[in-house]
């Protein structure tokens, strides 16, 4: 056996056991086929050698055993996923719809998405660059309209159609929508009143364009505070300092509120992100466990001021980051019942909609509780919407877990009902 064969085999062994990790999402289908073909071709070659040779070296026996392990692991992981998918698509419609009210999902193919919408398995759809690539404005608008038609024709409510259109480096719908600089650049060096006016105009541009194409939920504005930290070379996705408006809490509060009201003018729901404030977070939550270690008193006087100010004066959703507030709880905010119920619901008196950041992040998927338990804990904690945006296949894993938990009476039905009421109240207020 060549060194190259051994190297490829070790790599495929790791891939086989981690076939469904989000890190392999973009190549997963090709990888699965490739692994099976590799095992078949290499295995056939070894079997032929075994028939022809009187002596079968130990190294080749080990290699053959590895091929068998790789093949079995690949088939097992794929079969497990397919079972979850089958289970979800054939679940009791009432149960699926009850849980679907709490999920916003991204998608790869419209046909599969339309099936979930027709069954009432989702309450919203997240759209990003990959969904509009090489499509005209009219094609995108038509596709979104078709989603709503499918939902309404099957007796479901109006879908939330969400995207990230912050401006600047996070402008998922530009083009075809207008590419604007970040809010930070728009209001830089302006007096507070002038900054508010510019932010309101900016929000109205986003709101008008998003609404016209069919988007009714914008995962923006960012109200995290800028910090003085050096750029982290391992920050591959967050880039908070490039997206944050200012380090001044008053400027962030007033500018983000003006922007949010600009969105609401055109019936687009804003989303404040990312609670508890990512300005103090050094690690990229897409890949690493992250903590905020300062106490509640300091956060109340700094990072949390913009959140509380805007939530009282708008109909904004609030996004929960996968960050641990170590002084308050040992689990991420996105499914911490202690923080959601005691701090946000009771202390802040916030009865609006809470949405998680994408659950398909390493800090959740490979975190202390895993994707399945984290999803259950989030709904039981009072989170209203679970976001599954990057790896849409994880929808079936999450829904499978939720359906199982529902059947075993492990979901808090009171929490689910209260959550549904909050969602309906906010959407009706903004969309009416």
pLDDT in tens, 86-138: 999 999 999 999 999 999 999 999 999 999 999 999 999 999 999 999 999 99
Task: State the Cα–Cα distance between residues 375 and 369, nearest whole angstrom.
Answer: 9
For position 241, which CATH number holds? 3.20.20.300
Count CB neighbours of 208 within 10 A.
17
Q: Of 43, 62, 86, which residue sits at a domain end?
A: 86
Residue 239 sits at φ, ψ, to 5 deg, of 50, 45
> Above 80 in pLDDT, residue 234?
no
Alpha-carbon separation of residue 138 from 132, 145, 176, 177 (angstroms): 11, 10, 10, 12
Helix 58-89, helix 394-407: angle, nearest 10 = 60
> Above 90 in pLDDT, residue 214?
yes
Domain containing 10 equals 3-86
Give the number of C-alpha atoms closer than 13 A to the C-alpha of residue 59, restricted to the C-beta side.
6
Assess whether 337 and 353 both reside in one domain. Answer: yes
Assess whether 229 and 287 both reside in one domain. Answer: yes
**Percent share of the chain, pLDDT over 70:** 94
Assess whether 73 and 106 both reside in one domain. Answer: no
Q: What is the CA radius of gyration of the chain?
A: 24
3-class state of residue 306 by DSSP: helix
Assess whether 125 and 180 both reside in one domain. Answer: yes
Assess whether 233 and 216 both reside in one domain. Answer: yes
Burial class (CB in 10 A: 0-12, 13-18, 19+), 177: buried
Within 8 A by CB and 6+ apart from 212, the residues are: 141
Task: State the Cα–Cα distance between residues 70 and 64, nearest whole angstrom.
Answer: 10
Minimum mean pLDDT among 46-60, 66-80, 120-134, 172-186: which range?
46-60
Number of structural domains found in the chain: 2
Assess whether 156 and 301 both reside in one domain. Answer: yes
């Amino acid at each position: 056996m060549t060194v190259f064969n051994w190297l490829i085999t070790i790599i495929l062994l790791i891939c086989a056991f981690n076939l469904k990790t989000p890190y392999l999402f973009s190549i997963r289908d090709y990888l699965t086929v490739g692994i099976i073909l590799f095992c078949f071709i290499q295995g056939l070659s070894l079997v032929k050698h075994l028939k022809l040779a009187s002596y079968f070296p130990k190294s080749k026996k080990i290699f053959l055993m590895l091929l068998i392990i790789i093949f079995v692991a690949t088939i097992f992981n794929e079969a497990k996923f397919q079972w979850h998918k089958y289970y979800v698509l054939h679940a009791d419609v009432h149960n699926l719809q009850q849980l679907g009210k709490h999920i916003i999902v991204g998608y790869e193919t419209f046909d599969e998405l339309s099936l979930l919408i027709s069954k009432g398995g989702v309450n919203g759809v997240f759209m990003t660059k990959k969904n509009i690539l090489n499509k005209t404005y009219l094609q995108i608008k038509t596709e979104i309209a078709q989603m709503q038609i499918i939902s309404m024709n099957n007796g479901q409510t109006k879908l939330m159609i969400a995207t990230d259109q912050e401006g600047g480096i996070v402008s998922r719908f530009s083009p075809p929508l207008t590419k604007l600089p970040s809010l930070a650049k728009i209001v830089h060096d302006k007096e507070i009143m002038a900054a508010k006016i510019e932010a309101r105009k900016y929000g109205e541009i986003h709101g008008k364009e998003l609404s016209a194409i069919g988007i009714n939920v914008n995962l923006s504005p960012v109200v995290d505070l800028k910090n003085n930290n050096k750029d982290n070379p391992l920050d591959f996705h967050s880039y908070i300092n490039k997206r944050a408006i200012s380090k001044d809490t008053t400027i962030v509060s007033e500018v983000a509120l003006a922007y949010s009201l600009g969105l609401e003018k055109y019936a687009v729901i804003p989303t404040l992100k990312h609670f508890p404030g990512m300005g103090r977070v050094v690690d990229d939550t897409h890949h690493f466990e992250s903590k905020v270690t300062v106490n509640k008193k300091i956060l109340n006087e700094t990072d949390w001021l913009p959140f509380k100010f805007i939530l009282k004066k708008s109909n904004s959703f609030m996004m929960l980051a996968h960050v641990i507030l170590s002084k308050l709880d040992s689990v991420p905010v996105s499914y911490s019942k202690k923080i959601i119920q005691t701090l946000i619901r009771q202390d802040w008196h916030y009865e609006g909609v809470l949405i998680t950041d994408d659950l398909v992040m390493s800090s959740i998927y490979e975190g202390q509780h895993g994707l399945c338990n984290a999803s259950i804990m989030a709904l039981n904690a009072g989170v209203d919407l679970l976001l599954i945006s990057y790896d849409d296949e994880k929808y079936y894993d999450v829904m499978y877990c939720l359906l199982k938990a529902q059947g075993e009476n492990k979901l808090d039905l009171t929490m689910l009902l209260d959550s549904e009421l909050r969602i309906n109240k906010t959407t009706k207020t903004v969309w009416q």
